[in-house]
């Protein structure tokens, strides 16, 4: 059995996980399951990236020691992956002692090979991405995130990245699938062809990092540190059995990353490894972004959705199916509750759910729950052979497309088979055959054909729908587990004849669209307002639903709808444009946030309003955790007279909507590309 070692990015712990992080981890989990069903020993590593300025600032804002802060957030990631049933084999935190040892070892290897020197850097720096921009001037937008850069002057240790231009180009040439998809590979090649500057790999202005073994209070640049997690997590530099495991599993077969961090993985990482004389990973796949409301879903843009409410309402399989089917892997894709519920209802409830339910119900009713024997030539027709041929074709197509990371096409192929079998049932009308005793052999053949196709569908869909495929498998009365089936051995005709099916239950109950969306919104609102961490139960009256148990209240037919929205407050008195012009509203960005001592309601915020940095006190502490606000764009009223609140002078007011029927504030969001200081009119 050959090994297949894959990784997700190691997520920053400056904020709680959102659907973007979940997307990458779900895809990695699908690949891991698929490779296992191909017979590989597939092992997956995930983890958290816990050093650097961003994390340090978030910890400060939360009034916590960075270690205690990261302990808490990393736990949220693990709790969410567990709750969603995501399977991983290794979890690395970059603050673990074993990791520091590995990073220092990498440094020694690279230094010994002559690729490290001490130099100085003066120029623009992006604190958000921890990036020395190298060109232009302070204030220019960061090439990665677009935030304004700041001037820094530092003595640093540099890595001779420039020495790796040609070796990297050779790597991309010799190993054309090192960077995938193809379009991203071309981007990487032109970036390297454009010339590589040496890379600063130390930070003198930061404490929260792994100390460099140079004795001058430098810490490692967060990316030199983080990438190494892919090796530490499986045993590099740990000695003994751990080290042996590293030798067996390294190089990684796949680093799965979002497109914005491809450069770090496809350029810096192989260059570090080449310099250290260590084997290179076999490939990097950069996927696109999940967009929400036309923008990249991200904490700083304030447009995030969490996986947990979706899991509670429709089960993790519904979410997995949507993400893998709706988004062409490698490209950006939009997320909306509307499309999510539509996909669930049409593809899962209607197509697969109905196929499973009616096939099994009829076997139960007409054959007393025994898989019928397809009878001989006389009762066999061309349509049966067509389903069989389609199933054989689908096994081939689904396996090949999944193998090439074309998940959406693979699912399309599987659902092509589902549609064909549903059509076959409609055209062959087993319910009519059941009324005619002399058609019993034909009835047996039709139901056998549908059940066998259903078995094949459950095996092919298992990497994406692990829970539901398992349910269908068990309802078919099959032994073993669906995920233990080997794809290479899957073929028509393996359904044991005469086998007894189990109790038939709907696998995907239909959801009432409006009620489901309202419930999803309510849960999401509750999660963000309470700052609840994944894994905790919702405080709300709606009973928490177990995995794969769709929320009862959201189901169709006569379900209690969520409470209607309370009436909006009456409009105020009209004012003139001149009155309005007196109000100077600006876009700002929260740099720091902390609770005001002695009250549960107030937060003290440091806000960059373009022209200056202001301190403001806002009554939003019950709705927002301080750390959730760092980096967030806000709208402020900038020309209010200062006023003292709890002894702190507040210089401006943050604009928020107030939910009708409660006094809960919801901050107004502003796209990230709007510069701080922009005026609203």
Q: Which residues bind ligand ME8 (CB under 6 A)?
A: 9-12, 20-21, 23-24, 49, 226-227, 229, 257-258, 260-261, 289-290, 296-298
Secondary structure class of 488 (helix, strand, coil): helix
Q: At closest approach, how far in Å is the CB of 159 from ligand ME8?
A: 16
Largest CA distance in the chain: 92
Residue closer to ligand ME8 by CB (options 309, 470) is 309
Q: At closest approach, how far in Å is the CB of 292 from ligand ME8?
A: 8
CA 28 – CA 40 distance, rounded (Å): 15
- Helical H segments across 539-592, by residue range: 577-581
- Is residue 56 within 8 A of residue 73, CB to CB? The reply is no
Q: At closest approach, how far in Å is the CB of 56 from ligand ME8?
A: 14
- Helical H segments across 294-429, by residue range: 307-314, 316-326, 337-343, 354-367, 382-403, 407-428
Q: At closest approach, how far in Å is the CB of 297 from ligand ME8?
A: 4
Q: At closest approach, how far in Å is the CB of 654 from ligand ME8?
A: 25
Q: At closest approach, how far in Å is the CB of 205 from ligand ME8?
A: 19
Residue closer to ligand ME8 by CB (options 24, 58) is 24
Q: How far is CA 475 from CA 33, 369, 452, 548, 579, in A?
A: 21, 10, 13, 15, 69
Q: How far is CA 622 from CA 228, 618, 664, 665, in A?
A: 39, 11, 8, 9
Residue closer to ligand ME8 by CB (options 252, 356) is 252
Residue closer to ligand ME8 by CB (options 231, 447) is 231
Residue closer to ligand ME8 by CB (options 259, 664) is 259
Q: Which residue is closest to ligand ME8 by CB?
A: 20
Any idea what DSSP says for residue 596? P
Q: Which of 629, 358, 659 lies closest to 522 in space, CA to CA?
A: 659
CA 250 – CA 227 distance, rounded (Å): 14
CA 50 – CA 94 distance, rounded (Å): 6
Residue closer to ligand ME8 by CB (options 261, 490) is 261
Q: At closest approach, how far in Å is the CB of 23 from ligand ME8?
A: 5
Convert 499-514 into a string of H (helix), E (strand) and C (coil): CECCCCCCCCCCECHH
CA 216 to chain CA centroid, Å, is 38
CB within 8 A of 484, min separation 6: which ones?
none
Q: At closest approach, how far in Å is the CB of 21 from ligand ME8?
A: 5
DSSP, residue by residue, 84-142: TT---SEEEETTSHHHHHHHHHHHHHHHHTT-EEEEEEEEEEETTTTEE--SS-TTSBP
Residue closer to ligand ME8 by CB (options 21, 455) is 21
Residue closer to ligand ME8 by CB (options 14, 60) is 14
Residue closer to ligand ME8 by CB (options 296, 471) is 296
Q: At closest approach, how far in Å is the CB of 47 from ligand ME8?
A: 8
Residue closer to ligand ME8 by CB (options 297, 507) is 297
Q: Which of 252, 294, 259, 311 lies closest to 17 in space, CA to CA?
A: 311
Q: At closest approach, how far in Å is the CB of 49 from ligand ME8?
A: 3
Residue closer to ligand ME8 by CB (options 225, 452) is 225
Task: Work out whether strand 131-132 and strand 116-126 pair parallel, antiparallel, or are unpaired.
Answer: antiparallel
Q: At closest approach, how far in Å is the CB of 93 from ligand ME8?
A: 12
Handedness of CA 283, 54, 124, 215 (dihedral sign): negative
Residue closer to ligand ME8 by CB (options 258, 463) is 258
Q: At closest approach, how far in Å is the CB of 24 from ligand ME8?
A: 3
Task: Count CA within 13 A, CB hemisphere, residue 288.
Answer: 20
């Amino acid at each position: 059995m050959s090994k297949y070692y894959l990784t997700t990015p190691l997520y920053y712990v400056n904020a709680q996980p959102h659907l973007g992080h979940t997307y990458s981890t779900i895809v990695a989990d699908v690949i891991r399951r698929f490779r296992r069903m191909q017979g590989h020993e597939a092992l997956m590593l995930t983890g958290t990236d816990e050093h650097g300025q961003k994390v340090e600032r978030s910890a400060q804002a939360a009034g916590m020691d960075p270690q205690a802060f990261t302990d808490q957030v990393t736990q949220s990631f693990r709790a969410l992956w567990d709750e969603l049933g995501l399977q991983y084999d290794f979890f690395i935190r970059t603050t673990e002692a074993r990791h520091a040892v590995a990073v220092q070892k990498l440094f020694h290897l690279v230094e010994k090979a002559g690729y490290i020197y001490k130099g100085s850097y003066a120029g623009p720096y992006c604190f958000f991405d921890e990036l020395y921009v190298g060109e232009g001037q302070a204030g220019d937008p960061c090439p990665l995130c677009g935030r304004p850069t700041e001037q820094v002057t530092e003595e640093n240790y540099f890595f001779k990245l420039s020495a790796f231009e040609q070796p990297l180009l050779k790597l991309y040439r010799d190993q054309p699938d090192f960077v995938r998809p193809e379009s991203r590979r071309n981007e990487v090649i032109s970036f390297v062809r454009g010339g590589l500057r040496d890379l600063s790999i130390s930070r003198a202005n930061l404490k929260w990092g792994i100390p460099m073994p140079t004795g001058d209070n430098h810490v490692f640049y967060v990316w030199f540190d983080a990438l190494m997690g892919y090796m530490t997590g499986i045993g590099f530099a740990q000695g003994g059995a751990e080290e042996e495991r590293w030798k067996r599993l390294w190089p990684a077969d796949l680093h799965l990353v979002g497109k914005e961090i491809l450069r770090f993985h496809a350029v810096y990482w192989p260059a570090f490894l080449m310099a250290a004389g260590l084997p290179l990973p076999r490939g990097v796949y950069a996927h696109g972004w999940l967009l929400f409301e036309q923008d990249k879903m991200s904490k700083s843009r304030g447009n995030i959705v969490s996986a947990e409410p979706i899991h509670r309402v429709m089960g993790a399989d519904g979410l997995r199916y949507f993400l893998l089917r709706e988004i062409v892997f490698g490209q950006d894709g939009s997320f909306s509750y509307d499309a999510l519920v539509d996909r669930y209802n049409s593809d899962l409830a209607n197509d697969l759910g109905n196929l499973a339910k009616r096939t099994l119900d009829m076997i139960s009713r007409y054959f007393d729950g025994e898989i019928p024997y397809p009878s001989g030539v006389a009762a066999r027709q061309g349509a049966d052979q067509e389903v069989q041929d389609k199933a054989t074709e689908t096994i081939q197509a689904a396996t090949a497309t999944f193998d090439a990371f074309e998940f959406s096409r693979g699912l399309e192929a599987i659902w092509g088979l589902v549609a064909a079998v549903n059509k076959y049932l409609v055209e062959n009308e087993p319910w009519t055959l059941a009324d005619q005793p002399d058609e019993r052999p034909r009835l047996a053949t039709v139901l056998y054909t549908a059940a066998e196709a259903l078995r094949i569908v459950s095996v092919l869909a298992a990497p994406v729908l692990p829970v539901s495929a398992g349910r269908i498998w068990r309802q078919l009365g099959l032994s073993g587990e669906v995920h233990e089936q080997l794809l290479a051995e899957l073929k028509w005709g393996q359904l044991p004849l005469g086998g007894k099916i189990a109790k038939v239950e709907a696998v995907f109950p239909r959801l009432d669209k409006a009620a489901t969306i309202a419930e999803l919104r309510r849960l999401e609102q509750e999660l963000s307002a309470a700052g609840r961490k994944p894994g905790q139960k919702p405080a709300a009256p709606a009973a928490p639903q177990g995995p794969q148990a769709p929320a009862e209240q959201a189901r169709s037919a006569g379900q209690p709808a969520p409470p209607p929205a309370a009436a909006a407050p009456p409009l105020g008195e009209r004012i003139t444009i001149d009155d309005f012009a007196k109000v100077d509203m600006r876009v700002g960005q929260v740099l720091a946030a902390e609770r005001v001592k002695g009250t549960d309601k107030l937060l003290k915020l440091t806000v960059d309003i373009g022209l200056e940095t202001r301190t403001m006190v806002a009554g939003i502490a019950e709705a927002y955790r301080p750390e959730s606000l760092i980096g967030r764009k806000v709208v402020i009223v900038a020309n209010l007279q200062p006023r003292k609140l709890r002894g702190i002078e507040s210089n401006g007011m943050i604009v928020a909507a107030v939910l009708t029927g409660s006094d809960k504030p919801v901050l107004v969001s502003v796209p990230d590309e709007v510069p701080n200081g922009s005026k609203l009119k």
